């Protein structure tokens, strides 16, 4: 394994005081331990006093890691978990200048420090030797988005509403800064990898409709319809009668506004409804769910698929599109990852409270228990890594507008979470699967053709 070039060059001017030199020495020693497996250093380092260390001579800096105070590493690594690392970013202890997605490799090193017990004790002692106090920057950073504080039983209807409200309280205008023209909050579909975001998102909508084999006049249900992009597209391009349900009133309002502007209110609408309350809306020919199953929770997965089954006509299709945990990922079973580093803890605390990512095989098992036949499964992992890269760049390009709409802490949450997720998809720690499920009729028939050829025609 390649080892990192030591970060022990003399920091460039300005020179710190003697006390500052001691803190610099400890900081560089810690970084050398933590980043030992990073490989050739393709980033620069800037310390709180303005002194800098360039990347390796043969590499250009893809980003600069900025430590804003002598105690930055202490706040980043004590306790040694993902939440502390993320919260220290929200609190202004450290910054990334440049490619924040490339910088996510640093998080891998912080997570996977390969040391024995004696070395870990030495590292902890060094961290505690750094100052624990913060300056005015931290006091300013405390204002804004705080950790979620949901009430009630996990995945009850009321608590699910609270979770959705917490996530979307940044506002429709904020999401519009990075999601693209159709406001699609899930991965695009990039046939060549060179498409722009809007083209990729329209290609994804088309792909979903083709997989469902939609026909004019059919009833389509979208569970978790977001801002209505899919139901609007399906009604306009495929002539279906579409109903979308969501737990976010602002999303429902925008969806119906856009539907009215398109002149499709007679064929398409969005309503505020929990997936467990679908029985009074009759049967649908096709059902789709995009980016919603992640919020259901393992304890409610069977109920979720049963609701879709009960709302689907015999012979119909259900397309379930959702992010899944990689079953082979050490984070799903390794004690240190689950209980010490707390992988995923930051997102659960500040982004998607109560969200649960479940391996695709487990999810499909619940679908089969509900009665579904699995007809087709496809991974779009690389597509989501690329989509998130587009979202990060668009958010960065609109930073001034974002800061007028939300507080800096909220901006930092989204900036960090999307960059980290892009890296996780690229590294196969996360995946996303489209599962096409069938409800065969009494003769065993469903709407699925013999081959996939129709998906790629034209």
Residue of 187, 268, 421, 446 marked active site: 421
For residue 150, give the nearest of 133, 136, 166 by alpha carbon: 166
Alpha carbon distance 324, 358 (integer Å): 5
| Beta sheet of 430-438, edge-to-edge order | 268-272, 241-246, 219-223, 284-290, 312-325, 430-438, 373-379
How far separated are the first and last CA of the chain, in Å rounded?
46
CA distance 450 to 448: 7
Nearest to 436 by CA among 322, 356, 328, 358: 322
Task: Give the residue ranges of DSSP H helices in 70-196.
Answer: 72-77, 82-90, 100-111, 117-129, 136-141, 157-168, 172-179
Q: Is the distance from CB of 61 to CB of 44 less than 8 angstroms?
A: yes
In whole angstroms, give the CA distance from residue 165 to residue 423.
26
Does residue 181 contact residue 200 with C-beta atoms inside 8 Å? no
Which of 413, 418, 403, 353 lies closest to 90, judged by CA? 413
Q: How many CB atoms lie within 10 A of CB 192?
A: 7
Q: Could you tell me which residues come within 8 angstroms of residue 176 by beta carbon, excluding any fewer than 6 positions away?
A: 183
268 in catalytic set: no
| Burial track 367-393 (b if 16+ CB lie within 10 A, e otherwise) | beebbbeebeeeebbbbbbbbbbbbbb
**Alpha helices (H) along 262-311:** 301-310
Contact predicate 384/425, CB 8 Å? yes
DSSP 452: S
Provide the 3-class DSSP secondary structure of residue 5.
Answer: coil
Strand locations in 326-427 (E): 373-379
Catalytic residues: 421
């Amino acid at each position: 394994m390649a080892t990192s070039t030591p970060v022990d060059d003399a920091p460039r001017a300005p020179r710190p005081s003697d006390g500052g030199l001691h803190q610099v020495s400890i900081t560089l020693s810690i970084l050398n331990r933590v980043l030992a497996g990073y490989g050739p250093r393709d980033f620069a380092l800037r310390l709180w006093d303005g002194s800098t260390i360039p990347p390796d001579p043969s590499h250009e800096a893809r980003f600069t890691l900025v430590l804003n105070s002598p105690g930055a590493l202490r706040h980043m690594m004590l306790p040694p978990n993902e939440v502390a690392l993320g919260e220290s970013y929200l609190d202004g202890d450290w910054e990334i200048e440049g490619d924040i997605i490339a910088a996510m490799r640093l998080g891998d090193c912080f997570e996977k420090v390969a040391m024995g017990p004696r070395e870990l004790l030495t590292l902890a002692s060094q961290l505690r030797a750094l100052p624990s106090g913060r300056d005015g920057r931290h006091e300013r950073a405390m204002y804004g988005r705080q950790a979620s504080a949901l009430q009630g039983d996990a995945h009850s209807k009321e608590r699910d509403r609270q979770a959705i409200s917490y996530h979307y309280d940044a506002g429709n205008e904020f999401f519009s800064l990075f999601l693209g023209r159709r406001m699609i909050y899930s991965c695009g579909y990039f046939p060549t990898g060179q498409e722009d975001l809007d083209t990729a998102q329209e290609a994804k909508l088309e792909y979903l409709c083709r997989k469902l084999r939609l026909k004019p006049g059919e009833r389509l249900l979208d569970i978790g319809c977001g801002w209505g992009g899919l139901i609007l597209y399906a009604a306009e391009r495929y002539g279906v009668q579409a109903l979308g349900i969501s737990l976010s009133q602002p999303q429902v309002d925008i969806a119906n506004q856009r539907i009215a502007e398109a002149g499709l209110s007679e064929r398409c609408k969005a309503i505020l409804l929990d997936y467990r309350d679908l029985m009074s809306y009759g049967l649908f020919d096709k059902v789709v769910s995009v980016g919603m199953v992640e919020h259901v929770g393992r304890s409610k997965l069977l109920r979720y698929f049963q609701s879709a089954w009960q709302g689907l006509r015999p012979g119909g299709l259900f397309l379930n599109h959702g992010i899944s945990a990689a079953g082979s990922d050490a984070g799903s079973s390794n004690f240190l990852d689950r209980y010490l580093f707390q992988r995923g803890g930051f997102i659960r605390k500040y982004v998607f409270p109560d969200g649960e990512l479940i391996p695709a095989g487990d999810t499909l098992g619940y679908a089969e228990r509900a009665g579904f036949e699995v007809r087709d499964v496809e991974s779009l992992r690389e597509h989501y890594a690329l989509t998130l890269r587009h979202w990060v760049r668009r958010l960065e390009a609109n930073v001034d507008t974002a800061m007028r709409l939300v507080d800096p802490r909220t901006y930092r949450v989204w900036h960090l979470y999307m960059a980290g997720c892009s890296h996780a998809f690229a590294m196969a720690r996360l995946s996303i699967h489209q599962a096409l499920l069938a409800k065969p009729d009494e003769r065993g028939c469903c709407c699925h053709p013999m081959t996939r050829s129709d998906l790629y025609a034209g």
